[in-house]
Amino acid sequence: APTMGLKANWATKKPQIDASFTERVIAATGPNANQRLVQVMPSLVRHLHAFAREVNLTVAEWTAAVEFINECGKMSDDRRNETQLLCDIVGLESLVDGITSKMLATSNSETPSAILGPFYRQDAPLLPNGSSIIRNLSPSVPWHEQAVADSAFLTGRVLSSCGAPIKKAIVDVWHAAPNGLYEQQDESQPDMNFRGRFETDADGRYALYALRPVPYPIPDDGPAGRLLGLLDRHPYRPGHIHFIVSATGFRPLTTQLYDDRDEYIAKDAVFAVKDELVIRFAPREGDPNARWSLEYDFVLGRV
């Protein structure tokens, strides 16, 4: 006899499009599944299925999406994280950052966090307080004049939420060059250019020389950039300086400061700007190493 129409309890006569199909996928989870996955996967599967139903996703579109994600993965290495960039332009890294701070914050005086971004490097050089993260300012660098005009002294204290200074806190800082490129994106910059770690003194103070940051386009020559183009969006981030501030007994703070001189503050391509993180540099007199200065205190929450 022909075996067509063979019935088994794992199949269904209905086409796989309705909620009962979704629940069947969720119910396939076994008794020894990972706890956190048991918590999150049903929601992920329901939202994914609901999305596909809502937009009538076709096989051709889904195939294109798989290829798109594969392309992001293939492009990603320790110099470039295209998958993270994809998350950034759809606001996911900022959303997750917001959810995490909301869950972990222990006081509302803590400095707001902001996303890490794809260009952090561990093990930036530990530098003496008051020194510079600019590793090459010779007149031969094409953006030398701009670097001089934007030279800046950054200082402030690291504080607990009750205002007590925290000594021996580490301020890990990094920013892009005046040409809009982070050091690992740019062959012409020395290793670890515009990166450094500083330890706060007995008054909880850090001090360093850096540059006023400039607006710059996130890398847009890959799939994430193509998506921006298809969405008729620009790739610019406002000028920003990244920080990770950490100290024993406190929750590490990943954040960014934004220079209020630039127009992209209100239209960050990765949606990371927060009012409390927008700063204004002041002109600095009598310092041959800096035309600008900024004083900013970081407030950490307890673990």
Whose Cβ is closer to Fe ion: residue 240's or residue 291's?
Answer: 240
268 contacts ligand MBD (rule: CB under 6 A)? no
277 contacts ligand MBD (rule: CB under 6 A)? no
CA dist 126 to 129, 244, 246, 250, 293, Å? 9, 13, 14, 20, 22
Q: How far is the CB of 17 from ligand MBD (least distance, A)?
A: 37
Contact pick of 98, 117, 213, 222 for Fe ion (by CB under 5 A): 117
Alpha carbons 87 and 93: distance in angstroms, whole number: 6
List binders of ligand MBD among 80-109 (CB under 6 A): 85, 88
178 contacts Fe ion (rule: CB under 5 A)? no
Which string of DSSP letters, residue by residue, matches 9-34? Answer: TT--SS-TTSHHHHHHHHHT--TT--
- Binding segment for ligand MBD among 24-32, 111-119, 124-132, 134-142 (CB under 6 A)? 111-119
Alpha carbons 80 and 116: distance in angstroms, whole number: 14
Amino acid letter for position 179: N
C-beta of residue 178 within 8 angstroms of C-beta of residue 142: no
Q: How far is the CB of 116 from ligand MBD (least distance, A)?
A: 7
Site string for ligand MBD, 216-235 (x = CB under 6 A): --x-----------------
Q: In which residue are the tokens 């041959």 written? A: 288
Which of Fe ion, ligand MBD, none sits in contact with 82, Cβ below 5 to 8 A by type?
A: none
272 contacts ligand MBD (rule: CB under 6 A)? yes
115 contacts ligand MBD (rule: CB under 6 A)? yes
- Binding segment for Fe ion among 98-106, 113-121, 257-265, 267-275 (CB under 5 A)? 113-121
Q: How far is the CB of 100 from ligand MBD (least distance, A)?
A: 15
Residue 153: name the closest of 298, 296, 290 by CA: 290
Contact pick of 117, 196, 222, 225 for ligand MBD (by CB under 6 A): 117
Helix, strand, coil shares, percent, the chain, to 5 = 30, 20, 50
Residue 210: name the closest of 175, 164, 185 by CA: 175
118 contacts Fe ion (rule: CB under 5 A)? no
C-beta of residue 219 within 8 angstroms of C-beta of residue 185: yes
- Binding segment for ligand MBD among 6-14, 115-123, 125-133, 136-144 (CB under 6 A)? 115-123
C-beta of residue 117 within 8 angstroms of C-beta of residue 241: no
270 contacts ligand MBD (rule: CB under 6 A)? yes
Q: How far is the CB of 50 from ligand MBD (least distance, A)?
A: 29
Alpha carbons 145 and 273: distance in angstroms, whole number: 28
Query: How many helices (H) does the chain have, and how many strands (E)?
Result: 7, 13
Residues that bind ligand MBD (CB under 6 A): 85, 88, 115, 117-119, 218, 237, 270, 272
Q: Which residues bind Fe ion (CB under 5 A)?
A: 117
